């Protein structure tokens, strides 16, 4: 069939393959609410400016309300032949209102229409994600307060490094999420300009009021250049970049949960709510929720790379390539929302094993740095020399097959004669974490203070 919305120039129907590749209604129907909101704002402006007569404007407004109701009720019939959400809504509006419905598209193109719809959708998605990030931060901070003094090994290179507390470790993820939220807020601020009124690419000769439509839709201002308004999708790219970084942070935490729940680590346990079993091995408890969060990060990163690739070679202004801007964004935000929900659930669900973590914290000579610090403080050795002395003491303990604190004073003196009994006071893991009282350090008092500060900042939710 010839598309009655734009088919005046065409005498024939599109090929089946053309219709297949050209249609976007299967995914851009998600823009329905935003499309109607943009149309309502545009209509109100056209009426106030005298571009559309009041009687027609009232009829169109009633028609838009009816279309909105049908879509919300699930009774709206979407047509692939009408290509996209804009033409589907306009076609149904014409059935309800009659020829006057065609006045709604005065001073507007599908180019600025989709640009405003998409900005509204991304803005709404960011707002929803920000609430989920706060919920995960709140859960992490609450658990951090509970476990502020629970000692665990801190790792570098996945090797035991220095003792930290479980609460301190959880607060590290709160800080990462805070930066994720900041990136989303920055993206939201930059996207909050309204492209409606840019028309196809050059603006319009009608006496429109772009400030009015921008204000009605909650934008800070109209976009300043009509070409840029319809040609760029950097607002979606920036939101995807924030989503990809956030997903990467979630993936790193998910990987830790996968490790911690293994029998070899045994640091935490997840309940049946966030694990699955094996079809053949009855003993298995698999951390599938964490593994799926880790795996789904690839979809989000892929969406960013996909849209960057679409946009990289496009001259100004609009090109149909840009129809490929939405599916990846829709999927990425849906995936990120699910991942955040799963991570929040796991944080609230997990049960730590303090005995197992404490035992692991003392393994691998994790208090060696504390001994080196003591040598620097008590014996006034330059730290590099203290580091060397401690390394020799660690080698001695390893050759004996014992922990540092199990060496005798005489054995330590064989490496550094000035060592005294006081050196043993820094070798316990609780003493180690308690001594790390510098700002941002793992001392339990620090962790409690930071966790309380975050809970106060985040509020009750």
The residues carrying an active-site annotation are 157, 278
Half-sphere exposure of 182 (CA within 13 A, CB side): 6
Q: What is the DSSP string of 416-449?
A: -TT--GGGGGG-SHHHHHHH--STT---HHHHHH
CA dist 358 and 93 (Å) reads: 67
CA dist 372 and 366 (Å) reads: 12
CA dist 45 and 57 (Å) reads: 10
- Cα-based distances in Å from 374 to 139, 380, 387, 441: 37, 9, 10, 18
Q: Residue 266 in contact with residue 356, Cβ under 8 Å?
A: yes
Map residue 160 onto helix, strand or coil. Answer: strand
Left (φ > 0), alpha (ψ -120 to 50) or beta: where does 199 sit? left
First to last CA, the chain: 52
**DSSP letter assigned to residue 312:** T
Among candidates 202, 301, 197, which has minimal Cα distance to 249? 301
Structure tokens at 250: 């979630």
The pair phi, psi for residue 11, each rounded to 5°, is -100, -20
Q: In what helix (H) or strand (E) does residue 310 lie, and over which residues does it extend?
A: helix 288-311
CA 29 distance to own-chain centroid: 23
């Amino acid at each position: 069939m010839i598309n009655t919305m734009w088919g005046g120039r065409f005498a024939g129907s599109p090929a089946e393959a053309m219709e297949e590749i050209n249609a976007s209604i299967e995914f851009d129907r998600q823009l329905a609410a935003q499309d109607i909101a943009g149309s309502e704002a545009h209509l109100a402006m056209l009426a106030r400016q005298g571009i559309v007569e009041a009687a027609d404007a009232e009829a169109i407004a009633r028609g838009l309300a009816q279309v909105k109701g049908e879509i919300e009720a699930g009774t709206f019939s979407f047509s692939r032949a009408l290509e996209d959400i804009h033409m589907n809504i306009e076609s149904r509006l014409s059935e309800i209102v009659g020829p006057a419905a065609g006045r709604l598209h005065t001073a507007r193109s599908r180019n600025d229409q989709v640009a405003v719809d998409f900005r509204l959708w991304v803005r709404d998605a960011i707002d929803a994600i920000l609430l989920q990030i706060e919920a995960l931060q709140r859960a992490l901070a609450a658990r951090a307060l509970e476990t502020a003094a629970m000692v665990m090994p801190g790792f570098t290179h996945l090797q035991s490094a220095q003792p930290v507390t479980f609460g301190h470790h959880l607060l590290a993820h709160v800080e990462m999420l805070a930066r994720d939220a900041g990136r989303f807020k920055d993206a939201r601020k930059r996207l909050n300009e309204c492209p409606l009124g840019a028309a196809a690419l050059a603006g319009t000769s009608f006496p429109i009021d772009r400030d009015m439509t921008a204000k009605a839709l909650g934008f800070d201002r109209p976009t300043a250049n009509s070409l840029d308004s319809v040609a760029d999708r950097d607002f979606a790219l920036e939101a995807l970049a924030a989503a990809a970084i956030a997903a990467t942070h979630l993936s790193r935490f998910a990987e830790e949960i996968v490790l911690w729940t293994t029998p070899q680590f045994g640091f935490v346990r997840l309940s049946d709510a966030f694990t699955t079993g094996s079809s053949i091995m009855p003993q298995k408890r698999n951390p599938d929720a964490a593994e799926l969060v880790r795996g789904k990060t690839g979809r989000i990163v892929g969406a960013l790379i996909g849209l960057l690739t679409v946009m990289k070679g496009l001259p100004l202004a609009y090109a149909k390539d840009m129809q490929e801007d939405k599916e990846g964004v829709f999927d990425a935000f849906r995936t990120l929302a699910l991942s955040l929900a799963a991570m929040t659930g796991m944080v609230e669900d997990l049960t730590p094993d303090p005995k197992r973590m404490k035992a692991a914290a003392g393994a691998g000579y994790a208090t060696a740095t504390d001994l080196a610090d003591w040598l620097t403080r008590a014996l006034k050795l330059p730290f590099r020399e203290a580091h060397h002395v401690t390394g020799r003491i660690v080698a001695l303990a390893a050759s004996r097959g014992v922990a540092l604190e199990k060496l005798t004073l005489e054995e330590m003196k064989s490496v550094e004669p000035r060592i005294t009994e006081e050196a043993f006071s820094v070798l316990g893991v609780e003493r180690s974490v308690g001594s790390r009282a510098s700002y941002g350090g793992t001392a339990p008092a620090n962790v409690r203070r930071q966790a309380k500060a975050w809970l106060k900042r985040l509020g009750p939710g």
